[in-house]
Structure 1
Amino acid sequence: MQKNHGSDDGQGGRPRIEMSRRTLLRGSVTTLGLAAGGVLFSGNAAQALDIYNPFSGYRITGTWQDHLNDGSLGGIDYGMGVGTALPAAGAGVITNIPDNGTGGHTVTITHSDGYRTQYMHLSQFLLANGASVGKGGIVGYSGGAVGAPGSGSSTGPHVHWHLITPGGTRVNPLDYLGGGGGGGLPKTSTEQDGVPGPVMWQRTQNWLRIESGYTGPIDGAPGPRTYAALQQNLRNWGYTGPIDGVPGTNTWAALQRLAARNGYTGPIDGVMGPNSWRGFSHFINQDRWN
């Protein structure tokens, strides 16, 4: 798959790294607690930030994990033709950074509480520095053609998108959606990148609340109550072990059976990997679990 991205670590406004994305979950309770507990996501901040995904109709050509694997600070690439209008993910104030290192022409939108979204590899800026923009307002036009002005190190037409916290950490904006981008819970990006995170677990908790009597918080941080409700629900998918809130191979094998009804084609071996999580997330992204 062509990723269509360079390192996207332009020099202007370069954020510092405080911690890395946790490795992919493999069924360990300890690992699940750390990764899904949201080391870059508190739950509350997302609800206060009024952003949405203006690129949901475009194909992801480089996932967050792809960027980390390539040594980048992280980002999401959406493939689109040069000159595509780029809507603001949320209201804010514009800062344009021409020729921002490998990121090329970069527009920064400073939102409430100091959060910033950035789009990289633009072919054209539209608004002046200091201008205010409303959510959905056009801030510039996409670029990314190899060698074109503003493309930086891009290897193909696309836009690169990421979010920077007030503390200066670059994070995945898809983990922060939900404050005002539409009713209910946001969709999880796990369906595309196969990496489980807080939004996936929020949606899972809401599913379990609706179907299995889960009464804990919808916070994206699974613990024994979430896992016990999951085990109870997975009785429908062949789970025969105890309802003890401690997931193991039998729990994950049952979850893979559910995922197999939603596009997963791998083995039912109780070892969750990217394809298992994608199939499950296809199920959990259904509107009825919003």
Structure 2
Amino acid sequence: MCEKHRSEDVQKARPRVVMSRRTLLRGSFTTLGLAAGGVLFSGNPAQALDIYNPFSGYQITGTWQDHLDSGSLGGIDYGMGVGTALPAAGAGVVTNIPDNGTGGHTVTITHSDGYRTQYMHLSQFLLANGASVGKGGIVGRSGGAVGAPGSGSSTGPHVHWHLITPGGTRVNPLNYLGGGGGLPKTSTEQDGVPGPVMWQRTQNWLRIQSGYTGPIDGVPGTNTYAALQLNMRNWGYTGPLDGVPGTNTWAAVQRLSAAHGYTGPIDGVMGPNSWRGFSRFINQDQWD
């Protein structure tokens, strides 16, 4: 389908799910919420979990080795302001542990294969015990201010993240990311067809740059589009941040796409070539 035949109304609808062979091989069904965070890859379990790093946009203030050197069982600290939304690294079932010793308020996400993700030093729990959460769903808010409720032994605002194996061993979650990395690359760069992986990467980009706090689920809605409109201020968009994208929103997206190889008209009508340029941008490693 050529550019001029793609109507704006198509962009307002839920994106069409297209599962290419490449997408299937990357295990992207989980981005649609069809799995609960189980093992997707055979072989080495250290690269098997369907989890991603939800804190890649923040500075590491305490490495795994730093924790071991200080006598801790291990963890990674990411500096962030108190009240920052904490997305689930993978789908699972939530358990909240108030005042968990030195860890303070702790949220645990138990994945379907028995692995557990834990975040420590929270200022607020947002889901009830036993609630199910999808990958990217917000489970709580960060804390860590000295002496504040839920901070435990924290000496400054941050979140502490670690993973626990089914056997109870604490391990570095960065060694267990699905496929050995973060989010998969989108095939939209090749076929020009927007799908769930492209939108998942878009949501993660908007989380890092534009304050998006919704799930990283590959299904854009009002919050995704509002964050997109906010970001598109950098590309000439001057309309409302209403989460209802129209011609002006998509014209700004095309200007971004033009910086990444798109050579078509800036007419606010997205088509395969517009999406290819956008996806070349969104496939950058920094948005993994």
TM-score by length of 1: 0.48
TM-score by length of 2: 0.49
